[in-house]
């Protein structure tokens, strides 16, 4: 993608940034790239296989990336929502990041397949997308492709969950979460899980047993998804990272839908829009917090 | 036999060394174990509070004394805080002894220089008492011990005892600003105290334990005084869990601190990948 | 080492017999959430299983080193503590159609579990299990078992190796356990043509995977040790999230944590749980000091442990070339490709330390 490559080359040569975080061709499929040498800017690509949410790499605790210097990051609309989240929550300063937003036509669930985008192959996250032309950027590049086909799977799964009684939903999630091995790959891949010390890592007091038991697994996953309420950008990195193939994206989506219903709020790419659980107001609807 | 199963120990005595450092004297609940149990100075164990977890400390008592072991610890995390909540008579778990030890057989017939800072005296104390219990086997014994302040000195009763002995050259020191009005010891950091202790390097082994920064600045002094790197012994700490070479947590390059250590010479440490 | 010929019917009958005797039988089964994938699961009959189709998503590790394993349980009152021991003897189980890379992984980990203290929890499960592996012919571009000294027909860790031939399977009996399992089953005479066909299949399979990555030379381990401070470690793992998914599905990663768990005010257990050197707090000291404070150092540890430290200490690469780490990684890290690049670098910059 020449426009992207030229821009990256320019930013690096002029010293505006010291690293461009984007995508490149890997041995298996598209993979994250950290371009520090302007000569390598030609490696940058962008297509339907670029599923990773590169905002994860902006976590200030990733010392090895921070040490590279000021970064430019390539984002799709959904990824831009994560960058907005990091800005909203003061993890990064706006002037310390250059945002290269790319107009997006959807991504695949399985990038290695390199299949055409169809209702079956398109990622579930593209279903409700209203940010194919991102609004948070320093540079907006690329042609706007046609909207991707909508994969009905997610809506079907949500509908199925909504039809269940509470007991049935408990049984469903207990079954799914029983496979969790507490590797926390979901947390590490998530751009919004940036806490220096996760609640699950705290030992004094011990909030959640660290072992992969049904009780502790339920506690861990529900705690994580509730901490993501109003913050999750539906990038599905958690689901992609999970080595046990637990439908974590479904759980996150379900919570996001609840937040939308109750608070009339969707995670957005405008950092100035405050998240419902992200602000304290003395006229809050809930008395316990006033 | 389950190697992860601890011995049951009973707390016999509790001593508060400082505001935050406590010593336990522990006895084996099983008399058969008490009878058979031996260890060598420098070795460590995994001490546990059932329900809270395990924690790694050296065995701070001498290997020459049978029937009990001692450990000293600071309450810095979940398990150590739980240990502090225990009383005399309470039960805790102990797995050990693990690791290598100070090579006392090599050191016999020579002079010893013991250097420690703060709670670093705990592993050194084990060696000191083992040596004192066989005093004839060693030539000169010099102990240079210090802490940030008088209040941070541990094993105060024994410091007094050692100070009274004519067969030990004891030099106590506190950092400038850490002295009390009636402090009669030195006021200097450990590296200076060592340099001014009058110790001679010839035919002497040095044993040094304490905060990494103390060791970092004392090693050059020892080198200057003429101690070869393979005559200087120290202990390395690393995060541990199993303590017996299986869980893969404590390695520095191919060296497992729980198996090849925790006792190392300065020469061995210099050869390690600097990842500790 | 002897051979037997088993027909499909013989195999079906063997499994039925084991199930009837209440022996747990594990084999690859099509995954419910994705029928293209296989998982090692208990079966009641041969029909439920899919033999030799592709590498199952997770290794056999979880049957020998469970994700979470109770080390002891305790009962604690003012009067004292009683410890209830956990059994180290287990009921027998047979694992069918293990990939040779998964079977070999068990053999490799046996070494650390027995080098001084004998881990009887691991050994007990190993003793109780019989492993029937299956010639692998479903290798993909990510497999590299031959590079680490194994192969799609490796016998390491197996009690029996099955090679599919016309009409059934050639079974190579490798151990006494394998002998006991197949005693009287199938036919003892193996026609020369069957043996030849099996040899050809094995040879073809090996050629396929050899094409992926050259054999790792014996001095690679030394090169890695000498190049601990090479600048390359600062660039090759920037995309790594430190999530540890690689360690969890790896047949040879065995690092674990030990934790206590209250179940009531008086009772609880001590467990060991899977852990990974890739997580940020793996080596964090109580003082706050962390010897491996950035992902660069943690990824270096992974490579050094597998390809330098374990070979130095135990004579085996801590890797069986199954490729799962590359398939599961969300960040696009690709260990086989990386090892290939390091091997090329080692050839170009032999031996000398980069200090």
How does pLDDT run across A101-115, given as a tens digit for each residue?
999 999 999 999 999
Give the model's pLDDT for residue A129: 86
CB contact under 8 A, A206 and B78: yes
- Same structural domain for residues B241 and B220? no
Half-sphere CA count of C317, side-chain side, radius 13 A: 24
Give the model's pLDDT for residue C352: 55
Shortest CB distance from A181 goes to which of C67, C235, C294?
C67
CB contact under 8 A, A210 and C249: no
- pLDDT per residue over C13-26, tens digit each? 999 999 999 999 99
Residues in C whose CB is inside 8 Å of some CB of A read: 31, 33-34, 57-58, 67-68, 142, 234-235, 237-239, 241-245, 247-249, 257, 259, 261, 271, 273-274, 276, 279-281, 293-296, 326-328, 330-332, 334, 337
Where do we find the tokens 């005693």? C183
Structure tokens at B209: 């334990």
- Radius of gyration of chain B, Cα coordinates, nearest whole angstrom: 18
- Same structural domain for residues B137 and B215? yes
Shortest CB distance from C71 goes to which of B2, B52, B254?
B2
Structure tokens at C197: 């066909």
User: Is there a domain that residue B1 lies in?
Assistant: no
Here the CATH number for the domain that contains residue B118 is: 3.40.50.80
- Same structural domain for residues B116 and B218? yes
Here the CATH number for the domain that contains residue B84 is: 2.40.30.10
For each of chain B's 276 residues, which pLDDT tens digit applies?
A: 799 999 999 999 999 999 999 999 999 999 999 999 999 999 999 999 999 999 999 999 999 999 899 999 999 999 999 999 999 999 999 999 999 999 999 999 999 999 999 999 999 999 999 999 999 999 999 999 999 999 999 999 999 999 999 999 999 999 999 999 999 999 999 999 999 998 999 999 999 999 888 998 999 999 999 999 999 999 998 999 999 999 999 999 999 999 999 999 999 999 999 888
Residues in B whose CB is inside 8 Å of some CB of A read: 53, 77-78, 81
Give the model's pLDDT for residue C158: 97
CB contact under 8 A, A203 and B81: no
- pLDDT per residue over A141-199, tens digit each? 999 999 999 999 999 999 999 999 999 999 999 999 999 999 999 999 999 999 999 99
Give the mean model confidence (pLDDT) for residues C86-99: 96
- On whether the CB atoms of residues B103 and B50 are closer than 8 A, the answer is no
Closest approach of A207 to chain B, Cα-based (Å): 12
Last residue of a domain, one of B228, B248, B263: B228
Q: What is the spatial distance between Cα A163 and Cα C121, in angstroms, rounded to a whole number?
A: 45
CA A244 to chain centre: 19
- Same structural domain for residues B157 and B203? yes
Whether the upstream peptide bond of residue C247 has omega within 30° of 0, thus cis, is no
Contacts of B6 in chain C (CB under 8 A): 83
Here the CATH number for the domain that contains residue B246 is: 2.10.240
- Same structural domain for residues B117 and B208? yes
Chain B contact present for A197, CB below 8 A: no
Degrees (nearest 5) of the Cα angle B37, B39, B41? 155
CB contact under 8 A, B48 and C260: yes
- pLDDT per residue over A192-250, tens digit each? 999 999 999 999 899 999 999 999 999 999 999 999 999 999 999 999 999 999 999 99
Give the model's pLDDT for residue C353: 47
Percentage of residues of chain C with pLDDT beyond 90? 94
The string of DSSP codes covering chain B is --TTPPEEEEEEEEEE-SSSEEEEEEEESSHHHHHH----TT-EEEEEETTTEEEEEE--S-TTS-SEEEEEEE--SHHHHHHHT--TT-EEEEEEEES----HHHHTTSEEEEEEEGGGHHHHHHHHHHHHTTGGG-S-EEEEEEESSGGG---HHHHHHHHH-TT-EEEEEE-TT---TT--SEES-HHHHHHTTT---TTEEEEEES-HHHHHHHHHHHHHHT--GGGEEEE-----SSSSS-S--SEETTEETTTT-SEEEHHHHHHS-S--
In the predicted model, what is the mean pLDDT of chain C? 95
Structure tokens at B135: 């005093």
- Nearest-by-CA chain C residue for A19: C238
Chains that touch C (3 or more CB pairs under 8 A): A, B
Mutate to test the interface with C, among A211, A215, A224, A242 (most CBs of C within 10 A): A211
- On whether the CB atoms of residues C72 and B2 are closer than 8 A, the answer is yes
- pLDDT per residue over A25-78, tens digit each? 999 999 999 999 999 999 999 999 999 999 999 999 999 999 999 999 999 999
CA C309 to chain centre: 18
- On whether the CB atoms of residues B254 and C308 are closer than 8 A, the answer is yes
- Same structural domain for residues B82 and B116? no
Mutate to test the interface with C, among A181, A201, A208, A248 (most CBs of C within 10 A): A181
CB contact under 8 A, C81 and B50: yes
Q: What is the spatial distance between Cα A149 and Cα A126, in angstroms, rounded to a whole number?
A: 8
- On whether the CB atoms of residues A229 and A277 are closer than 8 A, the answer is yes
Q: What is the spatial distance between Cα A177 and Cα C109, in angstroms, rounded to a whole number?
A: 28
- On whether the CB atoms of residues B99 and B258 are closer than 8 A, the answer is yes
Give the model's pLDDT for residue A128: 73
Q: What is the spatial distance between Cα B26 and Cα B24, in angstroms, rounded to a whole number?
A: 6
Mutate to test the interface with A, among B54, B75, B78 (most CBs of A within 10 A): B78
Mutate to test the interface with C, among B246, B250, B255 (most CBs of C within 10 A): B246
- Same structural domain for residues B219 and B126? yes
Alpha helices in A17-93 (DSSP H): 63-66, 77-88
Give the model's pLDDT for residue C223: 95
Last residue of a domain, one of B98, B127, B162: B98
Shortest CB distance from A185 goes to which of C142, C238, C243?
C243
- Radius of gyration of chain A, Cα coordinates, nearest whole angstrom: 19
User: Is there a domain that residue B86 lies in?
Assistant: yes
- The domain total for chain B is 3
- Residue span of the structural domain in which B264 resides: 236-276
């Amino acid at each position: 993608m020449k426009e992207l490559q030229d821009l990256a080359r320019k930013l690096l040569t002029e010293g505006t940034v010291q690293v461009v975080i984007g995508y490149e061709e890997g041995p298996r499929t598209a993979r994250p790239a950290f371009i520090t040498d302007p000569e390598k800017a030609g490696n940058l690509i962008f297509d339907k296989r670029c599923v990773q949410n590169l905002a994860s790499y902006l976590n200030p605790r990733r010392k090895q990336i921070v040490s590279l210097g000021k970064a430019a990051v390539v984002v799709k609309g959904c990824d831009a929502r994560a960058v907005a989240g990091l800005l909203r929550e003061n993890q990064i300063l706006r002037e310390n990041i250059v945002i290269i937003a790319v107009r997006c036509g959807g991504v695949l669930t399985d990038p290695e397949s390199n299949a055409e985008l169809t209702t079956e192959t398109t990622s579930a996250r593209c279903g409700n997308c209203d940010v194919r032309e991102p609004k948070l950027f320093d540079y907006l590049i690329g042609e706007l492709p046609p909207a991707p086909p909508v994969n009905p799977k997610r809506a079907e799964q949500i509908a199925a969950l909504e039809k269940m009684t509470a007991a049935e939903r408990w049984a469903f999630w207990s079954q799914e979460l029983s496979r969790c091995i507490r590797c926390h790959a979901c947390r590490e891949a998530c751009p919004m899980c940036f806490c220096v010390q996760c609640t699950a890592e705290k030992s004094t007091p011990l909030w959640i047993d660290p072992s992969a038991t049904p009780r502790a697994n339920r506690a861990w996953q529900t705690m994580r998804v509730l901490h993501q309420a109003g913050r999750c950008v539906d990038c599905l990195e958690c689901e992609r990272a999970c080595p046990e193939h637990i439908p974590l994206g479904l759980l996150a989506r379900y919570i996001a839908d609840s937040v939308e219903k109750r608070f009339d709020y969707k995670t957005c790419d405008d950092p100035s829009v405050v998240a419902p659980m992200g602000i304290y107001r003395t006229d809050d609807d809930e008395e316990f917090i006033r | 036999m389950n190697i992860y199963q601890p011995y049951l120990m009973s707390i016999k005595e509790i001593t508060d060394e400082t505001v935050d450092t406590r010593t336990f004297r522990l006895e084996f609940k099983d008399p058969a174990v008490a009878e058979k149990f031996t260890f060598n100075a420098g070795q460590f164990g995994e001490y546990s509070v059932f329900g809270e977890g395990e924690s790694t400390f050296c065995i701070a008592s001498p290997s020459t004394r049978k029937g009990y072991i001692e450990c000293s610890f600071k309450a810095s995390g979940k398990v150590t805080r739980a240990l502090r909540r225990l009383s005399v008579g309470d039960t805790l778990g102990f797995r050990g002894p693990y690791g290598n030890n100070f090579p006392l057989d090599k050191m016999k017939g020579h002079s010893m220089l013991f250097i420690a800072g703060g709670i670093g005296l705990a592993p050194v104390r084990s060696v000191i008492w083992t040596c004192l219990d066989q005093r004839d086997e060693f030539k000169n014994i010099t102990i240079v011990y210090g802490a940030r302040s008088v209040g941070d000195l541990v094993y105060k009763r024994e410091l007094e005892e050692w100070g009274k002995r004519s067969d030990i050259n004891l030099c106590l020191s506190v950092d400038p600003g850490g002295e009390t009005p009636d402090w009669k010891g030195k006021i200097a950091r450990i590296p200076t105290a060592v340099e001014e202790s009058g110790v001679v390097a010839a035919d002497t082994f040095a044993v040094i334990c304490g905060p990494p920064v103390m060791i970092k600045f004392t090693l050059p002094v020892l080198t200057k005084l003429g101690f070869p790197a393979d005559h200087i012994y120290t202990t390395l700490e690393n995060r541990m869990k199993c303590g017996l070479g299986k869980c893969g947590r404590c390695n520095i390059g191919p060296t497992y601190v729980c198996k090849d250590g925790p006792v190392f010479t300065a020469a061995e440490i210099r050869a390690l990948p600097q990842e500790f | 080492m002897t051979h037997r010929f088993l027909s499909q019917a013989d195999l079906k009958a063997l499994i039925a017999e084991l199930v009837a005797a209440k022996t747990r039988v594990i084999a690859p089964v099509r995954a419910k959430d994705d029928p293209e994938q296989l998982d090692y699961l208990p079966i009641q009959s041969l029909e439920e299983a899919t033999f030799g189709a592709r590498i199952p998503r997770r290794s056999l590790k979880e049957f020998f080193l469970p994700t979470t394993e109770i080390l002891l349980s305790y009962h604690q009152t003012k009067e004292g503590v009683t410890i209830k021991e956990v059994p180290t003897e287990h009921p027998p189980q047979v694992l069918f159609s293990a990939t040779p890379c998964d079977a070999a992984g068990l053999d490799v980990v046996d070494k650390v579990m027995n080098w001084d203290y004998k881990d009887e929890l691991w050994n007990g499960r190993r003793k109780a299990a019989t492993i029937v592996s299956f010639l692998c012919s479903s290798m993909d571009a990510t497999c590299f078992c031959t590079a680490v000294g194994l192969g799609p027909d490796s016998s390491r860790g197996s009690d029996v190796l099955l090679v599919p031939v016309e009409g059934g399977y050639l079974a190579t009996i490798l151990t006494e356990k394998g002998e006991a399992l197949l005693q009287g089953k199938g036919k003892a005479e193996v026609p020369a043509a069957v043996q030849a066909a099996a040899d050809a299949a094995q040879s073809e399979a090996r050629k396929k995977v050899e094409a992926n990555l050259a054999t790792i030379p014996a001095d690679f381990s030394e090169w890695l040790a000498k190049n601990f401070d090479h600048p390359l470690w600062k660039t090759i793992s920037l995309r790594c999230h430190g999530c540890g998914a690689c360690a969890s599905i790896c047949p040879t990663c065995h690092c674990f944590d030990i934790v206590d768990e209250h179940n009531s005010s008086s009772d609880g257990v001590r467990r060991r749980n899977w852990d990974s050197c890739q997580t940020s707090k793996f080596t964090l000291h109580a003082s706050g000091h962390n010897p491996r404070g950035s992902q660069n150092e943690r990824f270096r540890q992974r490579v050094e442990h597998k390809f330098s430290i374990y070979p130095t200490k135990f004579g085996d690469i801590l890797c069986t070339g199954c490729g799962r780490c590359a398939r599961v990684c969300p960040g696009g890290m690709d260990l086989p490709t990386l090892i290939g690049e390091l091997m090329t670098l080692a050839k170009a910059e032999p031996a000398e330390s980069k200090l």
